Structure 1
Amino acid sequence: MAFVKLPAGEFLMGSDETPESLARVYPQLPTRRFDQLDDEGPVHRVRITRSFWMGQHEVTVGQFRRFVEASGYVPESVADRTGGYGWNADYDPATTKRGDAFEGRDPRYSWRNPGFTQSDDHPVVNVTWNDAQALAAWLSKTEGRRYRLPTEAEWEYACRAGTRSRYSSGEEPRSLLSAANVFDANSARYWPRWQPMAVDGDDGYAFTAPVGSFAPNPWGLYDMHGNAWEWVADWHGDKYYAQSPLDDPQGPVEGEVRVRRGGSWHTWAFYARAAYRNWNAPDTRYTLVGIRLVRED
């Protein structure tokens, strides 16, 4: 894995955009979406007190396979025999209670098979937070250096890379076409009901892209927006930002769901913003969720 050394520093974390301003930028979304973002504020100053190495890319299928083969670890989607989620051309979201875009859980789907073709240089998906922890622990033991998931603050610091715009590529969703693999015209061909939510353009990929296929952010990190959601270390707390410490926040001491960040190849641009927070139970395995690791000095 390639890593980029990021300096200690400080930044403003979160977003204070109003529902009205967001509605002007994303007019295709239902207005109720903009009233569900209380956990993005208040904007607060965060100081990262030590330099750290951030994975230049998301963990790939090939890297995860080498970990599984060398360690003997059995990913949760296989171990509990319930599988993950996957794309199926014959599956109709409208026929299900949840209306989920993907079929699952089903044992046929796992990190090895998200329902679409991936090569070894695509980001691994259908991996749980617990799988990510196992990978980091094995790497740490094998190499004698500490690997871990980034904290949520480290992740946003790395994603913003000195910017304060919605994306490290700029304010406008179309800026993502050269910087991120998100839900675009290419993907919308497979989900025509969500066509209005697609970025106005074609980024060249309907599903995951090989890592590093798009332009890096100003600090040389690839796919911080899009391609695969990335687990971070923190528990999620709706009100945590109001009490977050200045130095190296670690998130709530307890919780029920872990945070994931950055959006994916199937994510609407609105949810790929640097400030947007999403979360799942630690044993969630989903065809959009992957891993990026940190290595400590």
Structure 2
Amino acid sequence: MSDETAPGTDEGCGPSCSCGAPGRSQFVAIGAPATGSGAASSTPGRHGVEQVLIPASTFVMGDSSEDQNPGDGEVPQHPVTLPSFSIDATTVTNEDFSRFVDATGYRTEAETFGFSAVFHLALQAPDADIMGRASGTPWWFGVKGADWRRPGGRHSSLDGLGDHPVVHISWNDAQAYCAWAGRRLPTEAEWECASRGGIDQAKYPWGDQEVDEGGWRANIWQGSFPQHNTRDDGYLTTAPVRTFEPNGYGLWQTVGNVWEWCQDWFDPGFYRRSPATSPDGPPTGAARVLRGGSYLCHISYCNRYRNSARSQNTPDSSMGNAGFRTVAA
């Protein structure tokens, strides 16, 4: 699980942070069973998310606004050339993921492990289900029974959340969905190119204006973290995937709302040796890349809701503010 914030090097989010929750191992250490995940059919299934065609292009990848976080490896800036590709206009929703589970019987890793990470203000569970707070990030609880169907714990449900992004999805779970749908996760370079919406070297998908200039543009934290969210943008946690305005390519909410898994292994030094054409990340690693920030990000302590911002977590980790979108295989 990632963290808003996790133990790291800067005062807000460190290099192990994805402004979501700590890694699963922090909760496994206090008594969770370490079981495997269910299997999914490899037969391509029905993927119903609207598609956006990203044109072949060369763009400048990396931080252009000098907002990078130490340890994340957002620099040096470097040109990247990509062929055209097709990507989801939105993150995969609860309704989309439900079709996958109904077709395959797949059980997510949160379900097989028996717990996931829930932000304290989103908690809807009996005290007996709370395994404990994460070390260094006490606003995150390991919660028994929390999973994609019950994002706040066993007293929560998906009522009214069908068009919200599915959460409590690990990288491995996203891979299982992709295998069923005949899709794949975007590479980190594809994700950043698509998020930029054709505006090269801009801080956000819409340009360089801040999120609240002229009306809210993304679902992030407002108020005093982690105790009080004023909900000026209308949401405490997730928003429907088609909230606010799409970027120039037609993608919705690539920044804010939920973190999005990418295909790549994470390496903060990779940009120094990244190929100039169609990079797909380092060959090995311990954690996978997450992009885009979430509803828990705020400029005062975690400014990772930017086009170039990077984070990471272990492939088996899940949390209440991370999901995914896919590209055509």
TM-score (ref. length: structure 1)? 0.82
Report Cα offsets for 1:41-89 as digits up to 9, x if no partner. 10000000x2111100100011111111111111111122234435227
- For 1:263 and 1:180, the matched residues in 2 are separated by 10
One of 156, 163, 171 as aligned partner of 2:192: 156
Question: 1:66–1:189: structure 2 CA closer, same or farther, 3 Å change rule?
Answer: same
Does residue 260 in structure 1 map to residue 290 in structure 2? Answer: yes
Write the distance in 1 (CA, Å) between the matches of 2:292 and 2:253: 8
Gaps of 5+ in 2: 1-48
The residue matched to 2:115 in structure 1 has which SS?
Answer: coil
Cα shift at 1:113: 1.5
Sequence identity (%): 37
Rounded Cα–Cα distance in structure 2 between residues aligned with 1:35 and 1:9: 27
State the partner residue of 2:106. 73
Give 2:170's aligned residue. Answer: 128
Amino acid paired to 2:252: Y
Q: Is contact 1:235–1:251 with CA below 8 Å preserved after alignment?
A: yes
Aligned with residue 123 of structure 2, among 84, 88, 92? 88
Q: 1:256 to 1:139 in 2, by over 3 A?
A: same
Amino acid at match of 2:198: G
RMSD of Structure 2 on Structure 1 (CA) = 2.5
Q: How many residues of Structure 1 are paired with residues of Structure 2 in the alignment?
A: 265
Deviation at 1:231, TM superposition (A): 0.1
Shift of 1:103: 1.6
With over 3 angstroms needed to count, the CA separation of the structure-2 counterparts of 1:46 and 1:284, relative to structure 1, is: same
Distance 1:84 1:132, change over 3 A: same
Residue aligned with 1:178, SS:
coil
Give the secondary-structure state (helix, strand or coil) at the position aligned to 2:73. helix
Q: For each residue in 1:236-277, what CA deviation from the matched residue of structure 2 results, as whole angstroms up to 9, or x when unmatched?
A: 111100101111000000000000000111112411011110
Aligned residue identity for 1:6: I
Q: Distance in 1 between matches of 2:318 and 2:255?
A: 19
Cα displacement (A) at 1:139: 0.9
The Cα offsets for residues 132-167 of structure 1, whole Å up to 9 and x where unpaired, read as 000000111xxxxxx100000000000011222210
Aligned to 2:326: 293
More helix by share: 1
Matching residue's letter, 1:265: Y
Which sits farther off after the overlay, 260-269 or 78-87? 78-87
Q: 1:100 to 1:231 in 2, by over 3 A?
A: farther
Output one character per residue of 1:19-43: Cα deviation in whole Å (capped at 9) or x when no partner.
Answer: xxx4xxxxxxxxxxx6615600100
> 1:166 corresponds to which letter in structure 2?
K
In structure 2, do the counterparts of structure 1 residues 77 and 246 end up closer, same or farther at CA, with 3 Å as the change threshold?
same
In the alignment, structure 1 residue 273 sits paired with structure 2 residue 320 = no
Runs of 4 or more consecutive aligned structure 1 residues displaced over 6 Å after TM superposition: 89-92
2:315 is aligned with 1:282: yes
Q: Which amino acid aligns with 2:195?
A: C
Amino acid paired to 1:228: V
